Amino acid sequence: MLMINTLKMKVKKNRTLLNFYELCFQKDIINLFNSKFNKKVLFSYSTYHFNKKNYLSHSNYQESNAIAAIFDEMEFRIDIINNNRLTKLDVSSYDIVFGEGLPLYQAISLHHSPKTIYYGTGSHPFHCSEQSYKRLISFYHKYSFMALSSLRTSDTRWGLAASMADAVICIGNEVTKSTFTARGANHVYTVDPTYHPRPDAEAIGHSKNFDECRKSMLWFGSYGLLHKGLDLAVEAFKNHPDWTLHICGYTPAEKEFLDAIELPCNAIVHGFINVFDDEFKTLASQCGFVLLPSCSEGTATAVITAVGNGAMIPVVTKECGYDVGSSGYIIELSADDIERQLDQLEQLESSHLKELAIAAQTDAIQKYTIENFQTRIKMSLVEIINKRSQ
């Protein structure tokens, strides 16, 4: 699995290989539901999300299918294309172009463009790229290493599409929303993401022993290790050798970055793990907290997954777009502040930590459901579409 995921990352970063792969395996999907509706929507996102059934590695697959079903319910014919290249389809023939990336920019560039709705799964692309570059510069000054492969940046046209679309629906909270409104985006709506719950999630939470797991944290990410602050976490844990940092993500693809930060003995790399495997259950019992000092997210689905499935107390930056309420902790984007938080957590009783973990898990289970996502997406689409017709 690690080898496959590493290969996928290399293909994604090579434009020639990516174009060849998509030509063979990710062709445009025309009229997804074979409907006879007159109205048409062009969904610019990922055809792959509609070719893999019951895929549980990321919740955006079920979210994409939910959005398509809502458009079908609203009597739109749906065509699906990939977001990373300009399309040869007649964009002007659509009533709505929904999604992100180059086709949305292409639609906005038309003299008489269709209705355009930017669907953001992260913060505004300009904000995301800027934050990533700031982290790159800071990291370079400290380690003299250009960690370009550990960023999360996008083509400038993605950001232009986000700012110029008729409306925006973004996954995230008010912090996420502000990254769009500050950059000129119109009519910004927010929606909470989803995650895939384990059937034994609540049992995992209630069985946790915080006398044993109170000094272990899980850094739970995907790719873009610098963007997601792994270096800051490692730096903090170097000065707290009695704590343990467990690291999960596509780490083999960014080995040079890991070599540059020189992992200490109390940092354990697990690579990619399946949330439904026993390895995750074991980690959940060992880790009292999930740590993500990311510089930019929509709402970090990895944090939701760790909290909802593993009853881990969230310790995150505000940039993660995760509302911790009274059951988690917000940290600044610095190793010093992570250390401050570790010191503070050491003062709390294990029984109190257990209460926080259960409360955080209960909130995640109730809030981040596919039903809530569907309701909010449909409400937003109805309001956006009706605005134009009035």
The pLDDT score that the predictor gives to residue 390 is 43
CATH number listed for the domain at residues 14-194+369-389: 3.40.50
Query: Among 307, 290, 264, which Cα is nearest to 345's?
Result: 290
In the structure encoding, which two tokens stand for residue 317, read together?
Answer: 């930056």
Calculate the alpha carbon distances from 321 to 210, 333, 346, 385 in Å. Answer: 26, 14, 26, 27
Which long-range contacts does 70-74 make (Cβ < 8 Å, 24+ apart)? 70/374, 70/377, 70/378, 70/381, 71/41, 71/43, 71/98, 71/381, 72/32, 72/33, 72/35, 73/378, 74/378, 74/381, 74/382, 74/385
The pLDDT score that the predictor gives to residue 26 is 72
pLDDT-based confidence at residue 112 (cuts at 50, 70, 90): confident
Per-residue pLDDT tens for 132-178? 999 999 999 999 999 999 999 999 999 999 999 999 999 999 999 99
* Two domains, one topology: 14-194+369-389 and 201-367: yes
The enclosing H or E element of 354 equals helix 350-367
The mean per-residue pLDDT over the stretch 295-324 comes to: 98
Query: Among 322, 315, 295, 351, which Cα is nearest to 217's?
Result: 315
The mean per-residue pLDDT over the stretch 21-33 comes to: 80
CA atoms within 13 A on the CB side of 168: 33
| Domain layout of the chain by residue ranges | 14-194+369-389, 201-367
Q: Report the share of the chain in percent with pLDDT over 70.
A: 91
Higher pLDDT, 99 or 112: 99
Architecture of domain 201-367 in CATH?
A: 3-Layer(aba) Sandwich (3.40)
Q: How far apart are CA 31 and CA 27, in angstroms?
A: 13
Phi, psi of 132 (to 5 degrees): -65, -45
Q: What DSSP string describes 29-50?
A: B-STT----SEEEEEEE-THHH
Query: Among 118, 174, 159, 112, which Cα is nearest to 323's?
Result: 174
The pLDDT score that the predictor gives to residue 4 is 53
| pLDDT surpassing 70 at residue 9 | no
The mean per-residue pLDDT over the stretch 355-366 comes to: 98
pLDDT-based confidence at residue 389 (cuts at 50, 70, 90): very low
Per-residue pLDDT tens for 207-252? 999 999 999 999 999 899 999 999 999 999 999 999 999 999 999 9
Q: Report the share of the chain in percent with pLDDT over 90.
A: 87
